[in-house]
Amino acid sequence: MDYVESVLERSVVVHCESETLRSNLDGAIALDSDSVALPYSDTLELAVVLTLLQSLRVPFVSAGPNPPSDVFEFLRRKGLVTGNLDLISWRGPGEPELRRTNIGDRAT
């Protein structure tokens, strides 16, 4: 399963099992067999990276400390990103829960 795992200081980490997704992520740096990092240098580039992942319908982790969905929400409030977002969380091990929402609504 593919999903946006975390947003770090200079890269976005994507858990990426799909070769199709990897082929759509130009400039991705392989971290291991299931993860890639998409580098960015500033807030505008971060918005571009997150918008690309959003357009590819890659779900963003929406639970835990500093989830990527919160970073998207922060950029949305600044007017740098817009629209609906696919979210993922887990009810338990191996039990992902996917939902599509307007991140600004926080309604699921």
How do residues 77-86 score in pLDDT, each as one tens digit? 999 999 999 9
**Considering the entire predicted model, what is its pTM?**
0.89
Give the confidence band of 103 by pLDDT, cuts at 50, 70, 90: low
How do residues 84-97 score in pLDDT, each as one tens digit? 999 999 999 989 99
Which residues make Cβ contacts (< 8 Å) with residue 55, sequence separation at least 6?
none
pLDDT at 105 over 60: no
> Pseudo-torsion of CA 99, 20, 51, 71, nearest 10°?
60
The domain limits of the chain are 3-102
Mean pLDDT of the chain: 92
Q: Nearest-5° angle of CA 101, CA 97, CA 43?
A: 50
Q: Are 34 and 40 in contact (CB under 8 A)?
A: no
How do residues 17-37 score in pLDDT, each as one tens digit? 999 999 999 889 999 999 999
DSSP state of 81: -
